[in-house]
Amino acid sequence: MKKFSKITIIGVGLIGGSIGLAVKKRRLAKVVCGVGRRMSSLKKALKKGAIDVATLDLESGIKGADLIIIATPISLIPQYALKIAVLSDWAKTETIITDTGSTKEFVVKKLEGILPKTTHFVGAHPFAGSEKNTASNATADLFKGSKVFVTPTKNTHKKSLSKVKAFWKAIGAEVVQMPPKKHDELVAAISHMPHMIAAALVNAVSRDMIKFVSTGFRDTTRIAAGDALMWRDIFLSNPKNALKSISSFKKSLDALERAIKKEDVGFLMRQLEAAKKKREAIL
């Protein structure tokens, strides 16, 4: 793909930092600029080699950028979009703006209503990450082989959509295109629900019991160590689907509870064997 003159990444934690490293490794831009709220975070990204330039000033950060990637918690994405809209005279004409938010209907609706027509927004969600969320943990191959959801609407600029898809493919991702609504229904079940369950499981166990846990508990609850602010935003920006997923899990758990109470050996075995078969298919 054609090299970008300047890519600006707003938010250089694990995801933003990994994007920067992937871009630099594959030489997809002449300059990678990192924008943040704390110089301490930006210094970590600079030390890691994820960005070439760091700034706390959004205006200078977006000036001349071909591609702006907002890689912040979801609640901050519209705030940055508003600031970019105000500063749009400083942005390059026809600048492409994309994001990395884990929910898309909320983000897409907000940004399509905020950003000026001189910019083109394409919603995206890289389906990769870790409970460790700083630039120090970033890696150039985080997205290699991972899925990245791209969520256009009828308002999406087609040429910009193609460029965003090509960008993610260039850093090793498998691009999956779907509407924002369908995306949010899907990730609520396969991404958001596991985190809710992990958090609930940790909170259901007393501190006295925690000191005795072993590999099973650690494996099942690893993601509960993720950033609380990020996950708060995810759940509250996709509440309908989050609640639907909770309801679905409760039904499954209730079925197991009834089987144990009734000592229904046959049903319990069928449930456990079905779960084992499904899980083995993932490996």
Which CATH number characterizes residue 142's domain?
Answer: 3.40.50.720
78 and 160 share one domain: yes
The residue with tokens 């040429």 is: 159
Structural domain including 155 reads: 4-178
Q: How far apart are the first and last CA of the chain?
A: 33
**In whole angstroms, what is the distance from residue 254 CA to residue 266 CA?**
16
Closest CA relative to residue 219, chosen from 186, 194, 254, 189: 194
**pLDDT score, position 134:** 79
Lowest mean pLDDT among 79-93, 187-201, 267-281: 79-93
Around Cβ 65, how many Cβ atoms within 10 Å? 25
28 and 114 share one domain: yes
Q: Are strands 147-150 and 124-126 parallel, antiparallel or unpaired?
A: antiparallel
132 and 192 share one domain: no
8 and 25 share one domain: yes
**In whole angstroms, what is the distance from residue 114 CA to residue 22 CA?**
29
**In whole angstroms, what is the distance from residue 230 CA to residue 15 CA?**
12
- The residue from 178, 198, 228 where one domain ends is 178
Residue 75: pLDDT band with limits 50, 70, 90: very high
174 and 189 share one domain: no
99 and 197 share one domain: no
42 and 170 share one domain: yes
Mean per-residue pLDDT for 206-211?
93
171 and 194 share one domain: no
Q: Are strands 67-70 and 95-99 parallel, antiparallel or unpaired?
A: parallel
**In whole angstroms, what is the distance from residue 157 CA to residue 166 CA?**
14
Model pTM score: 0.91
The fraction of the chain above a pLDDT of 70, given in percent, is: 96
**In whole angstroms, what is the distance from residue 65 CA to residue 91 CA?**
7
> What is the tally of structural domains in the chain?
2
Mean per-residue pLDDT for 30-50?
94
Report whether 62 contacts 40 (CB < 8 A).
Answer: no
pLDDT digit string, tens, across residues 221-257: 999 998 899 899 999 999 999 999 999 999 999 999 9
23 and 44 share one domain: yes
